[in-house]
Structure 1
Amino acid sequence: MKRLAMAATAFTLVLAGCAPADPNPSSTTGQDATIDLLSDFGLAEMDAVEAIDHLDRLAVTDRPADLMASVYPDELVLTDNVREVTLDIPEDSSYLSIAPYVDQTHDCFYHSLTTCLGELSNENIELQIVDNATGEEIIDEEMTTFDNGFIGVWVPNNIADGTIEITYDGLTGSTDFTTTDEGATCITDLRVE
């Protein structure tokens, strides 16, 4: 069922421009394929958290064009359209990739670490994330967006109702989010105005 949902999402992302040309690569399994794929892209011996952090922080010009790295609620899927590797996300965590915008954005649900681009590249922002059910302020800090216009944060999983608020250059915007199994990992609907 998870693969069916991923295939449907991949089709949606193709339409949004955040996915590879072939969203259904042939899967090459086995330890050798895993080691080879990870080594080929400088990710050897990294777990999902380390690989996500590494890829998100790369300059756009340094991101591998032949690697698709998709963040799902429970796993990171890496593929070069020949081989596919899946790395598990820690059970107690969820990754949110957030691209605040002023004028332009794109539709996205599962973040692609190598192809998604946001409007506000290398900009200083103030970020607040709140779990509305508990009232807990999860994050309240100043950050700089990555070269791809996103910021990436690790938050607890199973947040059923949360709010993200960003202030940029005197402009503020907010959006709701969830980190349940049905939650998005790519937040592109947060307009600051």
Structure 2
Amino acid sequence: MAEITARKSLSGRNVFTMEIKIEKTKTPKAKPVDETKLGFGHIFTDHMFVMEYDTGKGWHDARIVPYGDISISPAAMVLHYGQEIFEGMKAYRTPDGSIQFFRPEENFKRMNISAERLVIPQLNVDDCLQALHELVKIDADWVPHTDGASLYIRPFIFAADPFLGVRPGDKYYFMIIMSPSGAYYASG
């Protein structure tokens, strides 16, 4: 398995503390054979990270589960008022085979700025980094070896309350999905 470059958490801790339940897939997908033809955003790894928020309980139930469809109410606030935020980042394989990220903590800080503006509960950045590292470690074989290719990482939060009025939500999901990808634009 590839080494993922270690880093200190923003608080200076070397050890992450969030409990993440892990359920590995029983039916792994075939990985792309030709990494020069990955395209962008249509192939997904075997796993995803999910964490829920409820008013009064806060962020809870952190888990890595097999990638799959999710079920939400047709009245979910995200569908009617677009109460959702996302970021995008990449993991790269280095010549020595290790996996590196480019400043993922900055992506999660930006996510919190957006969350504050939309009155969405903010995330603990160290918890986000832990979730990211654990997820990439589990799906490390999906990080492409080809120059110019990367593992695109999409963290996002959305309001799931079944409510048609306008107000901040009481129930949110924070998820991270990943996609081995070539250059975003065909020309690079």
- TM-score over 0.5 (shorter chain): no
Does 1 or 2 have the higher relative contact order (CA < 8 Å, sep 6+)? 2
Please give the TM-score of this superposition, normalised by the length of structure 2: 0.25
